[in-house]
Chains A and B, each alone.
Chain A
């Protein structure tokens, strides 16, 4: 599967070079990709020989495909993405070398969460926007070094999953059995509920403060679904769904940005060249791609503003067609389902099961949100397509998630 991925990605790059009269030496970022792939494969075989065999190749393919499309849309950004690939791979290897029981996460959940919240807080004050072009853009990044920026809310996704998995696993029995009859409902004890809701609430509040509604939605959905997994109560989903709709309605009337997103979701054709330009261009990209696509470098996804980040899925649809769309969906589904398989096979170990499921959920929810947004299934939220979109923070988070999933899958053997 790794060889097929390599052939596919290099074929794309050759086609791109032929279609756009590029210099053949501009392949170097793919060299980095192959190099990282070889190193990670060797390291995985050494440290995690019993890992799930499908997750890493699927991620590897999506990363290479992402480099193809980023190079096609914003050639300069492909180089930056390659730097981040090296960093992400290094962190990936580091995770392999840490204790595989993940006690370093489980025991220190409050420390990790406090660290994550601290990063969010300082982002409120010191945050920047590397693009800086938009009027009053969200400042979600911290400047790490020179041109290197990091988005703490990305790391917070992993921290939140780890916190929830650890907390829910530690309170597993009380959550399922020690319920207090409160009116018509059987609810967990307040001493259990308060810390988890408080910590989650703080996280969500921080990202909402930063106007990062997409990440806030992911936090909410992950919290809801992991609580459902932990409690086994479908009422949690119903209550969460009602809250989500209520938040949407409230947000519509309170926040212009929410109202705008919902308006253009309901009827983008009312203002196709104004506020709904991005989503309309996205739908046009899907239509232009048809079944087989225009071929890399031969479509016009450049019409979609910031296609290389939020709308990379639409760009793939235009140049690889429905076949490419199904391919990306298949890879995402493979990673998520193998993650769930790891969870299922560890259902007797609550922390491992919840951790694997939570990490898989982050990939699934984030992918569904942005793919559904570009297709006008749901209102648009500015999140990346994991492994494919341009974005160092997103790539690093994706690699951490997959690194942890592989450790968990190895552990189950």
Chain B
């Protein structure tokens, strides 16, 4: 029996050895795969318990706080700026873009503290993120837009910091779960809900705002402001339809529009549409659109470039009607408000694009660490073109009455209108030069506007709000 006992003893050792090897397989080699499974309740619970970092505004006011299972937004008006996080719904905006930092998965921290937390199995803690949003500006602009549908974006140049980003209709980030469909899933078509961020993802027909882009093209082509504008205020014939100049934003009597600058300042499209194919070739215009950043989504650091509306560029094969429609901003070409804000920022910044970002620091162990924002951005315009455009925008802004700014702050801007379906879009894009040499850019688009200057009114209020919030420094 001795042999049989030895065999059995050996077999038992082997059997328990196989058990040990199998345990090692699941515990070590297969661990990562198993833990990553979406149906692993441990993963789900760990994510719920994760102490997500807070989001603060540029002055330290808490905009978002609480663990992932119970995220809270004290100021619902910030939804359009920082997005949302909901355990079921997912995340968007800044909450999504800086997810790794907010969840503590990225960023330098104290190795000893990390080891201690790991040993004690403390829930993972995220890092606070300081956004560039100014709560006061954001809330003010939200109030200025009121019940109207539209967008407003406020940008600081040259820093590229986004001070406010409002998209109406707005949503309450504390209650995004109400947009879940009947299966408890996020809806397929977010663009049909207020969750759709019009600032980052919306596309609007530019209408007479197209004049700014066309003027850049003409200036690039060597034309000067004093170039005679023949029949400057004549009607524009688009697809067999004579559009009265008043409807396209031309604000002056025919006799007053004598030069290219007049046509631009008064918003008269005829000289610009007439220049197409002559002074301004399709290729040149295409180049201006491309280099001006209008054929791609405006890059915002760490935020998805999820422009939904396709950008349709002009092509050499376009018919004359299509080109004409595009030239007066009523064609297939649509412009995103952030693209226009970036372009305005470039004009204010001698042609260089500002590096758009919505967060600039994160806090580790009580110390703020800067977020690495790439400062080098492409030039959207030649320096001389930018300076000429700035002059033209200044001339245009002089027509705006009751500007609530003092002499230290100079306004440059352009008001425009466009037609979208049965409604009118009211546009404003411009900037105010600050005493310290920096600028505040504001772009506003109001849908179904009843008055052409609705966007301008909102923009002026936004300028005042931003100027009051920013530190007042003068250049020595």
Contacts and interface: CB of A to CB of B under 8 A. Distances in A.
A and B interact = yes
Interface of A: 225, 228-230, 232, 272-273, 280-281, 283-284, 286-291, 294-295, 298, 300, 303, 317, 321-322, 325-326, 329, 332-333, 336-337, 340, 343-344, 347, 350, 353, 357, 361, 364, 367-368, 371-372, 375-377
A287 B5 contact: no
Given A284-B41, A284-B42, A340-B9, 7 more contacts: A229-B4, A283-B34, A298-B121, A332-B16, A357-B5, A364-B12, A368-B19
A272 B39 contact: yes
A contact face: mostly helix, strand, loop, or mixed: helix
A18 B45 CA distance: 21
14 contacts: A280-B39, A281-B41, A284-B40, A284-B42, A286-B26, A287-B30, A300-B41, A322-B23, A326-B23, A333-B12, A337-B13, A353-B1, A372-B15, A376-B22
A322 B27 contact: yes
B389 to A, nearest CB: 60
Contacts of B8: 225, 228-229, 340, 357, 361
A368 B247 CA distance: 86
Contacts of B34: 283-284, 286-288
Q: What interface size band does chain B fall in?
A: 20 to 34
A368 B8 CA distance: 14
Nearest to B30: A287
Nearest to B24: A322
A322 B27 CA distance: 7
Contacts of A283: 26, 34
Contacts of A350: 1
B6 interface: yes
Given A229-B8, A232-B1, A232-B4, A290 B31 contact: yes
A230 B5 CA distance: 10
Contacts of B42: 284, 288, 300, 303
A73 to B, nearest CB: 16
B31 A347 contact: no
A376 B26 CA distance: 10
B41 A287 contact: no
Given A232-B1, A273-B39, A353-B5, A287 B26 contact: yes
B5 A229 contact: yes
Contacts of B18: 372, 377
A377 B45 contact: no
Nearest to A286: B26
A408 to B, nearest CB: 14
A371 B19 contact: yes
A375 B19 contact: yes
Contacts of A372: 15, 18-19, 22
A49 B15 CA distance: 32
B16 A333 contact: yes
Nearest to B46: A300
A300 B39 contact: no
B470 interface: no
A333 B19 CA distance: 12
Contacts of A333: 12-13, 16
Contacts of B2: 344, 347
B6 A344 contact: yes
B39 A375 contact: no
Which 5 pairs across A and B sit closest by C-beta, in order of nearness?
Answer: A287-B34, A286-B26, A287-B31, A298-B121, A375-B22
Contacts of A229: 1, 4-5, 8
Contacts of A289: 27
A286 B19 contact: no
A343 B5 contact: yes
Nearest to B13: A333
A193 B270 CA distance: 113
A375 B4 contact: no
